[in-house]
Amino acid sequence: MKVLVIGSGGREHALAWKLSKSNLVSEIFVAPGNGGTEIEESIKNIDIDSNDLDGLLDFAEQSSIDLTIVGPEDPLVNGVTDKFQNKGFLCFGPSKDAARLEGSKEFMKDFLLRHDIPTASYKTFTDSKKAISYIKEQGCPIVIKADGLAAGKGVTVASSISQATEAINQSLNSKAFGDAGSKIVIEEYLEGEEASFIVLTDGNVVIPFASSQDHKAKENGDLGPNTGGMGAYSPAPVVTEFVHEKILKEVIYPTVEGLKSEGYDYCGFLYAGVMVDSNQNIKVLEFNCRFGDPETQPIMMRLKTDLAELCLKACKKELSDEDLDWDDRKSLGVVMASGGYPANYEKGNIIEGIPDEAEDIKVFHAGTTYQEGNIKTNGGRVLCVTTLGESVLLAQKKAYDAISNISWKECFYRNDIGYRAIEREEN
């Protein structure tokens, strides 16, 4: 079968790489892809932007694509699945209406409330004066979230009233996130440890992937501004068997049931970002209607089951309960980024020293291009050096050994990816 993957990040490189190993897949295209997908022997890049929905559909028609898998949230929120399905194409990803679980924080929070799914208490505002008087009433810390998609920048965890006030004014009055921030959700601050819990569903059957944890903050110790994610590992030890069952029972099953009962067509990956507190209580922080980036990279490194077959079955509503097959080893991915990210950074620097793929190491590309025999930087997050090891510590060591040979002008990365899991291993 011919498969099209939409997107250009590390997630899409890892998905396409995994799909290319399936016996069911004869050809695999990535639109637009990156330097990493360009140099994969079995993958072909197609120069169509992931938000050019008409262009993507034309390509699918011309090339008789059998299955399309959507990586990023924007095309999903803009209705790529509806568009493909209307023309009779199998497209793995939720419908436009269902993708509002990620596309609107207000929709997501109201949905959780309707279905009695645990989450932080909240209130929605469009008026900054009312919002500011609410935070003064509630006190700090408090969390301010732009309602719509803001490329991971729409959330402020405010430790003071002045910081909260500034976040409110930025979003509602200065329009820092455009329309996406013309409404805000203000929510209770939650304590605990975060985990990413990702499942695949056809709207009826739910198949959980291995747990993972990402590091959103830019600097060591989870400090500094939030980024798209500076590294991730799988499994996440905070998701014990007990917690795993609890997330399924309290969050995932009621969400899938709730979507069905409200008439939404949800076929795709469903990602719950959850906070686990010291008493192992779970609360939903966010939903994403797609796989995580960089969580995909370590998870795909461990997955042994045929991903193409799973996605195909899901699109045909033929999924049945099954346990996925995993490499028992731990996997860890360290993101290497361009100096200045998540703010301004340079592009076009030549990257040297990327190791060849081996059984226990794979460098997934994100913001890169392949030009005249060179791999060059082309984005903020550039590479995700992903490894397998008998422990998180050993996987981490392997990743940083490889990184010590990779370089470009003004590259940076965190030195402590996986530290919480390693602390747990040591205890």
In the complex, least distance from residue 270 CB atom to ligand GLY, rounded to whole angstroms: 13
- Residue 222 CB neighbours (<10 A): 16
In the complex, least distance from residue 96 CB atom to ligand AMP, rounded to whole angstroms: 20
In the complex, least distance from residue 272 CB atom to ligand GLY, rounded to whole angstroms: 11
In the complex, least distance from residue 57 CB atom to ligand GLY, rounded to whole angstroms: 25
Q: Roughly how many angstroms between the first and final C-alpha of the chain, as a whole number?
A: 47
Provide the mask over 197-216, with x wherever binding to ligand AMP is found by CB under 6 A and - wherever it is not: -------------------x
Tokens found for residue 255: 């969400």
Stretch that binds ligand GLY, among 25-33, 286-294, 327-335, 397-405 (CB under 6 A): 286-294
Tokens found for residue 86: 């209307």
288 binds, among ligand AMP, ligand GLY, none (CB under 5 to 8 A by kind): ligand GLY
C-beta of 250 vs 295, nearer to ligand GLY: 295
Give the C-alpha distances (Å, rounded to integers) separating 223 from 82, 216, 218, 219, 381: 40, 9, 7, 5, 17
Give the C-alpha distances (Å, rounded to integers) separating 314 from 10, 31, 384: 23, 22, 28
Binding of residue 214 to ligand GLY (CB under 6 A):
yes
187 binds, among ligand AMP, ligand GLY, none (CB under 5 to 8 A by kind): ligand AMP
Stretch that binds ligand AMP, among 52-60, 94-102, 184-192, 306-314 (CB under 6 A): 184-192
Sheet strands (E) in 192-319: 193-201, 206-208, 213-214, 217-219, 223-226, 231-234, 268-276, 282-288
In the complex, least distance from residue 368 CB atom to ligand AMP, rounded to whole angstroms: 26
154-160 contacts at long range (C-beta below 8 A, 24 or more positions apart): 154/180, 154/181, 155/226, 157/189
Tokens found for residue 44: 């072909």
- Amino acid identity at 225: P
120 binds, among ligand GLY, ligand AMP, none (CB under 5 to 8 A by kind): ligand AMP
Binding of residue 194 to ligand AMP (CB under 6 A):
yes
Tokens found for residue 104: 């609107």
- Residue 97 CB neighbours (<10 A): 17
Q: Which of 211, 288, 387, 396 binds ligand GLY (CB under 6 A)?
A: 288
Beta bridge partners of 25: none
Residue closest to ligand AMP, measured at CB? 286
Q: Which of 200, 293, 366, 388 binds ligand GLY (CB under 6 A)?
A: 293
Strand 122-125 and strand 67-70: the pairing is unpaired
Question: What does the binding site for ligand AMP look like in residue numbers (CB under 6 A)?
Answer: 120, 143, 145, 155, 157, 187-190, 194, 216, 273, 285-286
